[in-house]
């Protein structure tokens, strides 16, 4: 059972896609992740949040429940993306759902930058593919933005493209969260 941990929809259940196509972030890991974000920022109220490889949308909807102003979930599978929208409506939360491959969406015109990015790519996604996505993402971040990348604890540290600086790593059993900060931009850049 996947549920919202905190905020206005705290304790409410989420529908999840059948089968093994998605791997929802466990409640324990989500609770630790959002506690860390709120400890760092003070609150998520007003934040612009992007959830890449959204799957069930649990991360995006957790952010919306905790007061994020803008929440965008990017998921390539149509049925799974439809479920995110159904979950959001059922919880009374606002979440823009984009049905497109992450890399293609990031390469297009997005229109605004993000304060927090939650990236939970499929564990088999190779490092070169992840680096390409992170490089595209770097130009879409607000100054000082936080990026959290979820990976298998068995995979090596991702290569961080210019513009992203690793801050810390946290392990939770088979899951590792990499916290990364958008580098300060040069004046006039």
- Say if CB 17 and CB 39 are below 8 A apart: no
At 123 the pLDDT is 82
pLDDT over 90 (residue 25): no
At 186 the pLDDT is 53
pLDDT band at 167 (very low <50, low <70, confident <90, very high): very high
Nearest Cα residue to 54 out of 16, 27, 20: 16
Measured CA distances, 52 to 76, 99, 154 (Å): 10, 11, 21
DSSP letter at 7?
S
What is d(CA 4, CA 114) in angstroms, rounded to the nearest whole number? Answer: 22
User: Percent of the chain having pLDDT more than 70?
Assistant: 94
pLDDT band at 15 (very low <50, low <70, confident <90, very high): confident
Token code pair at residue 139:
């130009």
- Say if CB 25 and CB 41 are below 8 A apart: no
Taking only the tens place, the pLDDT of each residue in 80-106 is: 999 999 999 999 999 999 999 999 999
Taking only the tens place, the pLDDT of each residue in 105-146 is: 999 977 779 999 999 998 888 889 999 999 999 889 998 999
Beta-carbon contacts of residue 27 (< 8 Å; ≥ 6 apart):
2, 3, 5
Provide the mean pLDDT of the chain: 90
Token code pair at residue 181:
């900060």
What is d(CA 150, CA 29) in angstroms, rounded to the nearest whole number? Answer: 10
At 187 the pLDDT is 46
- Quick count: other Cβ atoms within 10 Å of Cβ 8? 13
- Say if CB 105 and CB 51 are below 8 A apart: no
Residues 145-173 have a mean pLDDT of 94
pLDDT band at 20 (very low <50, low <70, confident <90, very high): low
Cα-flanking dihedrals φ and ψ of residue 111, to 5°? Answer: 100, -20
Q: Write down all domains in the chain, each with its CATH number in brackets.
A: 2-182 (3.40.50.150)
Q: Tell me how long the chain is.
A: 189
């Amino acid at each position: 059972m996947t549920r919202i941990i905190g905020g206005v929809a705290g304790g409410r259940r989420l529908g999840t896609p059948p089968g093994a196509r998605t791997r929802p972030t466990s409640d324990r890991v989500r609770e630790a992740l959002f506690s860390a974000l709120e400890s760092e920022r003070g609150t998520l109220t007003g934040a612009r949040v992007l959830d890449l490889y959204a799957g069930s949308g649990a991360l995006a909807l957790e952010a919306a429940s905790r007061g994020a102003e803008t929440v965008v979930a990017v998921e390539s599978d149509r049925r799974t993306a439809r479920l995110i929208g159904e979950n959001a409506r059922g919880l009374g939360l606002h979440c823009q759902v984009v049905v497109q491959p992450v890399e293609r969406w990031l390469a297009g015109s997005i229109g605004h930058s993000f304060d927090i990015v939650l990236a939970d790519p499929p564990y088999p996604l190779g490092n070169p593919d992840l680096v390409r996505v992170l490089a595209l993402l770097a130009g879409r971040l607000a100054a000082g933005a936080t990026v959290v990348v979820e990976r298998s604890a068995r995979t090596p540290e991702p290569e961080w493209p210019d513009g992203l600086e690793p801050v810390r790593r946290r392990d939770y059993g088979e899951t590792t969260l990499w916290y990364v900060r958008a580098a300060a931009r040069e004046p006039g850049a």
